[in-house]
A and B are shown apart, each in its own frame.
Chain A
Amino acid sequence: MTGATRALERPMPRIAPWRRRGLRRAITFYVLISPWLIGFVLLAAIPLVMAFVMSLSNYDGLNLEYVRLVGLENYVRAFSDPDAQHALGRTLLLMAVVVPLSLTLQLALALMVNQSIRFTSLFRTIFYLPYVIPVVAAAWVWKIFVDPTGGLLNALLGVAGAEVNVRWLVEYPMVVLASLTIWGAAGGGMVVFLAGLQGIPAEYREAAMIDGANRLQVTRHITLPLLSPVIFFNLVTGIIATLQILVQPMLLAPGILGLSPGTVPPSDNYLYAVHAYLEIFVKQLFGYGSALLWLLFAVVLALTLVLFKTSRRWVFYGIEP
């Protein structure tokens, strides 16, 4: 009330209060976001510049006396590093396997638990659980599950009459890694799909049903197009996450249960981020490792950009409830 009367008492120039109010609002905005802004400068912008300078240097993490800029040497080296190429190949292969399977599974799970069935919350919890389980524990879970002698997988295969002494972590390490990744990520993607499904008005589906569409047609022509923004979101985040997988292959290295900082996973699971990590934190090649990481960033950016370009063709943002 006092604010209103005070405003009336003042002479009223037309533009100035607007501007002053705008300025005050702007200051308020910058004060409110200042924690992030300061954090961004100190913990993202400066480190990014440092990381870039590092990638142009021979920094070893310890001695600043011997540091010198080596130009693009590290980048040139990355392109002729057979380990880096092998690692990139394995990473792209893992991505090509995991991302489509993950998305399909997540969508299927969301459709299943979105039906009117009993125990939906129990089913949701079961599918969501692996997503909640920390990566160390998840890696142990799978190590024991596929253990040659003590694991359930070989025991079940034995019942089915197959070979029973498969040493999964040695012979098929990437199968285990892919399973662990898909199993662990399913719940998170499912919940996002579920949120998307629940955002689709039931009338659309009902109308199509009344027009004689069967369930498959409804899914194909109503649900999927309306879900496409969510599919796109899960696709992009799935790709970015898969390209950066680091700890899992090291924890899945056969033999040990724990992880020493220098654990090298078997060749099949020698992923790109693992290579960069080992170069930096084990071999102390901070310069070269930073260059490797910038190249990873470039791949992530390029893939995301391509996806955004193609998204215009298949992602429908048209209908907003």
Chain B
Amino acid sequence: MTVALARRRSAATEATLRYVPVLVAATVFALPLAWVVVTSLKKQSEFGSSLLPATPQLANYELALSLLDFMKFATNSLVLSSSYALIVVMVSALVGYGFARHRAPGRGRLFMLVLATLMVPSLVLFVPQFVIFAKLGLTNTYWPWILWALGGSPFAIFLFRQFFATFPRELDDAAEVDGAGPLRIFFQIYLPNSGPALAASAIFMFLWVWGDYLYPILLLSEDNTTLAVRMSTAYVDPRGNPLQTVTMAGVVLYVLPLIAFFAAANRFIVRGIVTTGLKG
């Protein structure tokens, strides 16, 4: 009986050990976000004076949508992020397939070059690029992002190379015997079998542009800039004082689509990272 008791007690400690740390960590992680939602439901006059809103109200959300042309800038962000993500993922997958499946002199060294570019601080490259874009009259357009996308992303190329290297070579051989060229093999065999890797990298590439602040502020103008940049100056009262409660409503509107997206794709992302073998 003592044994049973001890076992039961150890089961209880076991459960505590498992759940308490993870619950504490989750609370700490979620608190700042929960506070955003709480603040967004307050009246501006309640900000700083009362902890919780007396009557939760959605007026801030209406203001967040109307103090700037929210839909217009959201569309800007959406167009820019998705065209970048679409192009860069396709190009990177193609290049990754080349590195994974086609032998040629210099391949190893070129691949080292792909990895080396990952280490170059992005500003080092951006400053001269900025000068080039300005000279070519490409500032205030989305062309810089399209050009970046057309060159592929070193990170995504690396991911796809690792991913495609796990495909059985027999597939290629069989297709080749049937007379399929490398492009057809890529589009009909490799791409259709890369769901998780495509989804994971597309989401990251989309997110990079959607969340980026620096490049739009330096390259675009008030009118065609992204939502993040426009939002950062829009939520003030006529005297220029910040409206924290409206800003928090804006944050929710800005982030919510991403959260929904990620919650849906959660499984995909982990699997994408597992299968692409980041361990190298």
Binding site for B on A (CB under 8 A): 1-4, 22, 25-33, 35-40, 42-44, 46-48, 50-51, 54, 61, 108-109, 112-113, 115, 117, 121, 123-130, 132-137, 140-142, 144-145, 147, 149-152, 155, 183, 186, 191-192, 194-196, 198-199, 229-230, 233, 240, 243-244, 246-247, 251, 256-261, 273, 276-277, 280-281, 286, 289-290, 293-294, 296-297, 300-301, 304
- Asked, given contacts A32-B182, A293-B121, whether A152 binds B91 with beta carbons under 8 Å apart, the answer is no
B21 within 8 A of A: yes
Q: How far apart are B251's CB and chain A's nearest CB, in angstroms?
A: 5
Q: Which of B22, B114, B125 contacts A36 (CB 8 A)?
A: B114
- Which of B30, B121, B207 makes the CB contact (< 8 A) with A300? B121
Query: How many angstroms from the CA of A43 to the CA of B258 in the assembled complex?
Result: 29
Asked whether B248 lies within 8 Å of A144 as measured between CB atoms, the reply is yes
What 0/1 pattern do residues 197 to 232 of B give for CB contact below 8 A with A?
000000000010011111001100000000011011
**If A126-B29, A229-B279 touch, does A281 touch B218 (CB 8 Å cutoff)?**
yes
Assembled-state Cα–Cα distance A39/B153 (Å): 10
B151 touches A32 (CB 8 A): no
Contacts of B49 in A (CB 8 A): 149
Q: Which of B133-166 contact A (CB under 8 A)?
A: 147-148, 150-152, 157
Which residues in B have some Cβ–Cβ distance to A below 8 Å?
Answer: 18-19, 21-22, 25-26, 29-33, 35-36, 38-39, 47-49, 51, 91-92, 94-95, 97-99, 102-105, 107, 110, 113-114, 117, 119-125, 127-129, 131-132, 147-148, 150-152, 157, 177, 179, 182, 186, 207, 210-214, 217-218, 228-229, 231-233, 235-236, 242, 244, 247-248, 251, 254-255, 258-259, 262-263, 266-267, 269-270, 273-274, 278-280
Q: Are B244 and A147 in contact (CB under 8 A)?
A: yes
Q: Across the interface, do B29 and A186 meet the contact criterion of CB distance under 8 Å?
A: yes
Q: Which residue of B lies closest to A151 (CB)?
A: B35
In the complex, which residue of chain A has the Cβ closest to the Cβ of B252?
Answer: A137
Could you name 6 residue pairs across A and B whose Cβ atoms are closer than 8 Å?
A25-B104, A51-B128, A126-B26, A140-B247, A257-B232, A261-B217
Secondary structure at chain B's binding surface: helix, strand, loop or mixed?
helix
- Chain A residues, CB < 8 A from B92: 36
Q: Are A155 and B29 in contact (CB under 8 A)?
A: no
Contacts of A196 in B (CB 8 A): 278-279
Docked-complex contact A43 and B147, CB < 8 angstroms: yes
Find the B residue at minimum CB distance from A198: B274
Shortest Cβ gap from B88 to chain A (Å): 10
Contacts of A258 in B (CB 8 A): 232-233
Say whether A155 contacts B152, CB under 8 Å: no
Name the one of A31, A35, A37, A230 contacting B110, with C-beta atoms under 8 angstroms.
A37
Q: How far is the CA of A206 from the CA of B127 in the complex (A)?
A: 53
Bound Cα distance from A47 to B135, whole angstroms: 13
Please give, as numbers and ranges, the residues of chain B lying within 8 Å of A142 by CB-CB distance. 32
Q: Are B95 and A47 in contact (CB under 8 A)?
A: no
**Residue contact B258 to A133, C-beta cutoff 8 Å:** yes
Q: Is the CB of A109 within 8 A of B94?
A: no
Whether A51 contacts B124 in the complex (CB less than 8 A), given A126-B26, A134-B210, A134-B213, comes out as: yes
Chain A to chain B: the 8 pairs with minimum beta-carbon distance, closest first:
A39-B151, A134-B211, A32-B98, A149-B48, A26-B104, A29-B104, A258-B232, A29-B102
B123 near A300 (CB under 8 angstroms)? no
